[in-house]
Chain A
């Protein structure tokens, strides 16, 4: 702890400082490239790996199987529906998942029986899910509505809280970057996109904003009397605020990500695909990127949006002037000392 506390102290006083605001061009470029990639990857791959909820079809989950062989399950399906192409996968430990096209009630019951026998389990260990073809469209539509409503309300809330649209805009920009990159990671990793993943996704947006609110609060505090101060320019104050909250950002991220990671790695390893894993992957990726986006995108963007304002330009000149004066004074004092 001692070294971490020291790290925190140095960040707080400014002894140690990372120039997040100054090197904004690099971060913006990196973010732009990442966002572009995140859009291109799914396009190149022909879309996301959509879960059964979006495709429609039937799914069976068999737990505590005696054998994890896929052919057993395929045969069980073929016995009932000869021409079908079932997707059989061992999702975790002794759990098998069998996905097929849409089945009739009767076929579902028969396949359920067949799988029970084939995998040597009891009736209680087979779960079946049926998803109608229009359900996916419905889920997608609702998720999009949720997204738009949330972004709109959050923008208003931010603008009311910070009383400046520039902060609001920067926060939302950071959130959008988070959103795109998280989606990109999903496309790249080929993880299934399920409604649970979408929930995780929407939760990530809230986390991203939450993180930005905390950092911006410090920025606002540091820049409250910027007009009458000649200590630092606006950009420098913003950068100091980010540095001062860096330890908090890291701690917050760690604490948020630990339980999520526990679900992702422990729960999913033992359980396989399901609500918990889908949700936690989106959260895991999103929390990491959300924290980074606040530091590298939202804060520098806010500084950049405001640096052109006339009073701040004047203030920056005053800071420059004072520093030049001080340097001249120091230079004048130097020879006398020598």
Chain B
């Protein structure tokens, strides 16, 4: 029963594991070399330092928020944070209810106010447009020529809105390099000087706009589609459709009646009177300023002109934000100094290392040389987890948080658990009198189910925690689930095949007293004792005998079919040549 040569299938499994590890390393190495990945996992803000805000979106009117609206909320905040010049901000949704904003450093109070504010969409008529750049000092309107309104403006398109101050502000505005921190929101009843930021296709434009005429909340919906030609045939032009509610419809009708006059007066399509334009303003920035080519009486205007599918979708989405004034309540805000984060990480790693060491000492004490298999398995599991986290940090932007580190430390014990279940099963089989090779096989057969079932429980817990998680629970749940999977891979692809190989070595196979599988220490009595002599019934380690020695013979006679079959199997495994016992009941 000692060495019977190499075990091919188990070697093959080990090679496959090596291939997986090498492939993961190669992927990460490739990423690192091309500069997009890094060998170390990305750290979350609680370890790196920075500010994390958890915001609860609030829809005006108090109705519940749905997933689409939440995604819009994230888009809104992303636009604002990007606009305010904060680099490397991360904005994500959590549990389908909250928005998590993570910023490096401490945000200014303006940035905070900006993040919290509700989206503000308005329609304003255009008074003046101009190129985005600052008007050079020597070309600015001389003081004497600055406009002096002669009368109170009669409607929103009236040039009398433009005062000397507004004109100066307009000329000084630099739309090519917009200010980082936006000032307070504009007054809807007053004119506004603002920019339309440059895009890939168009340069920046600056505007003087009249007071607000139609509000974003009056939009009922917005879609985008390929434009239909006069005959109803679909053209290649993308168009954005707006639909106003009743109030919006009547207001918009009034506006387009006035604006369309400017359009017609300026010569229709060939004209270029800025006053025929109405600007769609989101958070005080112009996102589009189409001309009013017709009077819209049904509240369903269509915006066309130079859209790609993408830009049409973007505008349509933005219009829907306007229809949905979401503001945000700060649920919790954490500002973590880099010092504290680093300290926590160091301590966490130290605690993890000590915990690992204790587990190592304990398994060596309990399982002797077998303990080294545990250690090697933990090392492989650790390598798999580390590579997975580093790769996920690169591809999915996964960041390791303190709770995630805790999850990994806790998983050391849970990973070692599966080995214990397996080893104890092997020991049980040895106690039954099997040789090591068959004990490993039989023990595995039984341990496999238990390990699978218990890992299923672990994974279930991780999934539940992940999906209902609030706050920093997610990181913990994620690493817990990840390590459960790594553990399964290691048990199946490393621990078991390694033991299959080791069972064939002299040291383990012959049960060296330091192997942890010494049958003598385990109180095993071999089934087969050589020289054709089988063990006597008295030798059989059986609880029956231990408890009712007097009833031994009786018990033997009353063996059930299943018991007898098991006994036969055991004898065969032990290399017995004797046929099964056949006495009747």
Known: A210-B417, A276-B344. 8 other contacts (CB 8 A): A63-B340, A150-B460, A210-B454, A248-B424, A259-B413, A260-B410, A322-B554, A325-B554
Q: Is B372 part of the binding interface, using a Cβ–Cβ cutoff of 8 Å?
A: no
Select from chain B the residue with minimum beta-carbon distance to A232.
Answer: B543
Q: Cβ of A251 and Cβ of B424 under 8 Å apart? A: yes
Q: Which of A149, A221, A252 has the most CB of B within 10 A?
A: A252
Q: Cβ of B339 and Cβ of A13 under 8 Å apart? A: no
Interface of A, helix, strand, loop or mixed by DSSP: helix
Chain A positions within 8 Å of B454 at CB level:
210, 213-214
Chain A positions within 8 Å of B523 at CB level:
6, 9-10, 12-13
Q: Is A35 part of the binding interface, using a Cβ–Cβ cutoff of 8 Å?
A: no
Docked pose: A250 CA to B222 CA in angstroms: 64
Cross-chain contact of B335 among A127, A135, A231, A254 (Cβ < 8 A): A127
Cross-chain contact of A262 among B354, B365, B465 (Cβ < 8 A): B354
Q: Which of A2, A15, A146 has the most CB of B within 10 A?
A: A146
Q: Cβ of B351 and Cβ of A1 under 8 Å apart? A: no
Chain B positions within 8 Å of A327 at CB level:
550
Chain B positions within 8 Å of A275 at CB level:
46, 344, 402-403, 406, 472
Chain B positions within 8 Å of A124 at CB level:
49, 337-339
Q: Is A225 part of the binding interface, using a Cβ–Cβ cutoff of 8 Å?
A: yes
Q: Is A267 part of the binding interface, using a Cβ–Cβ cutoff of 8 Å?
A: yes
Q: Is B93 part of the binding interface, using a Cβ–Cβ cutoff of 8 Å?
A: no
Chain A positions within 8 Å of B329 at CB level:
132, 134
Q: Cβ of A8 and Cβ of B427 under 8 Å apart? A: yes
Query: Can you give 22 contacting A-B residue pairs, CB < 8 Å?
Result: A13-B543, A13-B546, A63-B343, A127-B337, A128-B333, A129-B332, A129-B334, A130-B333, A130-B334, A134-B331, A146-B469, A195-B471, A206-B461, A214-B454, A255-B359, A256-B413, A266-B351, A271-B347, A275-B344, A275-B402, A279-B410, A326-B551
Q: Cβ of A2 and Cβ of B336 under 8 Å apart? A: no
Q: Cβ of A138 and Cβ of B470 under 8 Å apart? A: yes
In the complex, per-residue mask of A171-215: 1 if CB is within 8 Å of any chain B CB, else 0: 000000000000000000000000110110011011101100110
Chain B positions within 8 Å of A138 at CB level:
56, 97, 331, 470
Cross-chain contact of A267 among B97, B350, B356 (Cβ < 8 A): B350
Cross-chain contact of A330 among B56, B347, B363, B550 (Cβ < 8 A): B550
Q: Is B155 part of the binding interface, using a Cβ–Cβ cutoff of 8 Å?
A: no
Q: How far is the CB of A265 from chain B (nearest CB, A)?
A: 9
In the complex, per-residue mask of A298-338: 1 if CB is within 8 Å of any chain B CB, else 0: 00000000000000000000000011011101100000000
Q: Cβ of A260 and Cβ of B355 under 8 Å apart? A: yes
Q: Cβ of B343 and Cβ of A271 under 8 Å apart? A: yes
Cross-chain contact of B347 among A4, A195, A276 (Cβ < 8 A): A276
Q: Which of B49, B427, B470 has the most CB of A within 10 A?
A: B470
Q: Cβ of A248 and Cβ of B421 under 8 Å apart? A: yes
Cross-chain contact of B402 among A198, A257, A274, A330 (Cβ < 8 A): A274
Q: Cβ of A153 and Cβ of B471 under 8 Å apart? A: no
Per the 8 Å Cβ criterion, residues 390-414 of B in contact with A are: 402-403, 405-406, 409-410, 412-414
**Known contacts being A276-B406, A326-B551, is A251 close to B366, with CB within 8 Å?**
yes
Stretch in contact with the other chain, from A19-27, A42-50, A74-82, A239-247: A239-247
**Known contacts being A271-B347, A279-B476, is A266 close to B354, with CB within 8 Å?**
yes
**Known contacts being A9-B431, A153-B464, A254-B362, is A129 close to B348, with CB within 8 Å?**
no
Q: Cβ of A142 and Cβ of B344 under 8 Å apart? A: no
Docked pose: A13 CA to B540 CA in angstroms: 10
Docked pose: A130 CA to B334 CA in angstroms: 6
Chain B positions within 8 Å of A244 at CB level:
428
Q: Cβ of B428 and Cβ of A202 under 8 Å apart? A: no
Residue numbers of B with Cβ under 8 A of A are 46, 49, 54, 56, 95, 97, 109, 112, 329-340, 343-344, 347-348, 350-352, 354-356, 358-359, 362-363, 365-366, 368, 402-403, 405-406, 409-410, 412-414, 416-417, 420-421, 424, 427-428, 431, 446, 449-450, 453-454, 456-458, 460-462, 464-465, 468-473, 476-477, 480, 516, 521-523, 541-544, 546-548, 550-551, 554-555, 558, 560-563
Docked pose: A327 CA to B468 CA in angstroms: 60
Interface size on A, residues (CB 8 A): 100
Select from chain B the residue with minimum beta-carbon distance to A204.
Answer: B461
Q: Cβ of B362 and Cβ of A255 under 8 Å apart? A: yes
Docked pose: A10 CA to B414 CA in angstroms: 27
Q: How far is the CB of A280 from chain B (nearest CB, A)?
A: 7
Chain B positions within 8 Å of A68 at CB level:
none
Cross-chain contact of A245 among B424, B541, B543 (Cβ < 8 A): B424
Docked pose: A167 CA to B366 CA in angstroms: 31
Q: Cβ of A126 and Cβ of B337 under 8 Å apart? A: yes
Q: Is A270 part of the binding interface, using a Cβ–Cβ cutoff of 8 Å?
A: yes
Docked pose: A135 CA to B453 CA in angstroms: 36
Q: Cβ of B457 and Cβ of A209 under 8 Å apart? A: yes
Select from chain B the residue with minimum beta-carbon distance to A224.
Answer: B562
Q: How far is the CB of B58 from chain A (nearest CB, A)?
A: 11
Q: How far is the CB of A205 from chain B (nearest CB, A)?
A: 7
Q: Is A106 part of the binding interface, using a Cβ–Cβ cutoff of 8 Å?
A: yes
Chain B positions within 8 Å of A149 at CB level:
464, 468
Q: Cβ of A134 and Cβ of B560 under 8 Å apart? A: no
Chain A positions within 8 Å of B472 at CB level:
195-196, 275
Chain B positions within 8 Å of A207 at CB level:
414
Chain A positions within 8 Å of B554 at CB level:
322, 325-326, 329
Docked pose: A154 CA to B463 CA in angstroms: 12
Q: Is A263 part of the binding interface, using a Cβ–Cβ cutoff of 8 Å?
A: yes
Docked pose: A122 CA to B330 CA in angstroms: 27
Q: Cβ of A228 and Cβ of B471 under 8 Å apart? A: no
**Known contacts being A127-B337, A129-B335, is A1 close to B368, with CB within 8 Å?**
yes
Q: How far is the CB of B578 from chain A (nearest CB, A)?
A: 23
Q: Cβ of A248 and Cβ of B420 under 8 Å apart? A: yes
